Amino acid sequence: MEQATALNLLERRTPQPGDIALGNLQLDIANYQATVGGVAVDFTFQEFEFLRRLAANPNRIVPFNSLANALWDQSGHREVRRLNVIAFRLRVKLAHSDPYCIETVRGRGYGLLIDDTREKAR
């Protein structure tokens, strides 16, 4: 019998309450797994949590202090810099995952913008 890969298990898994599905982005919250267009994407714990909080509030800005408090239970200049690094790494990993864009609103926070017009044009 053929062994099932993690991706095959993800594809067969029934979405659970609390999971997030935005277009081709799927976040399995219970197992800390993500797929984009059916392809598994490896995120660190902090990257996943950052993305989960943005995906739970699509097209809205999530304040820096809210993200920092959720990830590290503290908020300050050092944590904002850490968030910048995580946002950069997420942008790299989601670079070919249109229609998503992680936007930085200077002095406020981050948002996961979903451009539905690009999605519909395909």
Domain harbouring 18, CATH code: 1.10.10.10
Q: How many domains does the chain have?
A: 1
What is the maximum span of the chain, computed from C-alpha positions, in angstroms?
Answer: 55
Residue 122 carries which DSSP code?
-
Q: pTM of the prediction?
A: 0.77
* pLDDT band per the 50, 70, 90 thresholds, residue 9: very low
Domain assignment of residue 71, given as a range: 6-121
Give the pLDDT confidence of 25-70 residue by residue, as tens digits.
Answer: 889 999 989 988 888 999 999 999 999 999 999 999 999 999 999 9
Q: Give the residue among 10, 31, 32, 27 at the shortest CA–CA distance from 94.
A: 27
Rg from Cα positions in the chain:
15
Give pLDDT, residue 100: 76
Any domain includes 1: no
Any domain includes 34: yes
Give the pLDDT confidence of 77-89 residue by residue, as tens digits.
Answer: 899 999 999 999 9
Q: What is the mean pLDDT of the chain?
A: 81
Cis peptide leading into 99, omega within 30 of 0? yes
Any domain includes 106: yes
- 48 is written with which tokens? 């996943």
Residue 94 carries which DSSP code?
T
Any domain includes 78: yes
Give pLDDT, residue 16: 58
Q: Which DSSP string do the residues of 7-67 spell out, in sequence order?
A: HHHHHHSPP-TT-EEETTEEEETTTTEEEETTEEE---HHHHHHHHHHHTSTTSEEEHHHH
Least confident residue range of 9-13, 18-22, 52-56, 80-84: 9-13
Q: In angstroms, rounded to a whole number, what is the distance separating the alpha carbons of residues 41 and 76?
A: 29
